Amino acid sequence: MGRYRIPIFTLVILCNTFFLKDAWANEEPSREEIFEQRMAYYVHFGDLRVPWHYLAAIDQYERNIQSVRKDIPKRDSTIAIQFSDEYWAGPLNPSPKDTSPSTIDYFGGMGLDGNSDGVASPDDDEDILYTMASYLNQYGLKEEQFKIALWDYYQSEAVVNQILTIAKLYKHFNSIDLDTHVFPIPVRNHYSFRGTWGANRGFGGRRIHEGTDLFASYGTPVVSTSYGVIEIMGWNQFGGWRIGIRDNHNSYHYYAHLAYYNKGIKVGDIVEPGTILGYVGSSGYGKEGTSGKFPPHLHYGIYKFNGRTEWAFDPYPSLLQWEKQTKASKK
């Protein structure tokens, strides 16, 4: 599925050659090089303190929210994690930009020197990851302890759950390259769809259509468009038999109006692009079991979580792109 894994000997080399970031300073690194360097950082500091996928999940979460929040500065570096001046230098430190390990410690700051250069800089990727790894290490290495550490740091159950999802995916696939997508209906089948974002919906009161309808024959397979963890399965009076899947980019993928599910999946399962989730139907718009109030189709929606709220956005452009990519891969 296009996942990028780094051989052990490559990791050893990368972990001892962080100077590569300087070599890339004057040219744009390739996607593979970016993933290699990130993974090298995670493994290096993970080996010292905590499981690598914990650090990778936090870093990816921070990168995700920076891409959609205007109130958070975007950190233009290999590592996206950022600390507040108060957290790094100490709440009573008269120098909020302090980089001296001794005075940072004196004023109760958390910033640490991760590369033994005598400076604890919130602008240095190695110092940042070492500081985060040290924070997590105080709680322990078990998942429940990681969960508590996340709660104490972010104070949000939704954020904790999102980071746990990312960590679960990275650990399962032993990779951070989980960006492949496919079209939600196997392209060998007959189907049709068009942009219907924002159209009025009558059932259940005044509301708009938050997704794209893909019309296909009853029983046509519905597959996961992404890597993710199944968060919700069951009945919804609007969506009928539906499935909700959360991915590593803070996106929640919603598949509705299914006829029935793939019996081999359940809540908590990890899926990948192409995993069969269920089959096209016409369920919904009533009490459990209601069906046939509209032609068979898949309602597909995507919701983005920004660390505070979750909102729907139009999936139609993505579907067009994934359809094109999926058809090309079949040739």
pTM for the full predicted model: 0.90
Quickly tell me which residue has 């009945």 as its tokens. Answer: 235
Query: Would you say residue 261 has pLDDT above 90?
Result: yes
Q: Which residue, 158, 138, 143, is CA-closest to 61?
A: 158
For 257-291, b where at least 16 C-beta lie within 10 A, e where not — what string?
Answer: bbbebbeebeeeebbbbbbebbbbbbbbbeeeeeb
pLDDT class for 126, splitting at 50, 70, 90? very high
Q: Over 50: is that where the pLDDT of 139 sits? A: yes
Per-residue pLDDT reduced to its tens digit, 221-242 = 999 999 999 999 999 998 999 9
Q: What CA–CA distance (Å, rounded) separates 293 from 284? A: 8
Q: What angle do CA 27, 80, 128 make, to 5 degrees?
A: 105
**pLDDT at residue 199, as a whole number:** 66
18 pLDDT tier (thresholds 50, 70, 90): very low
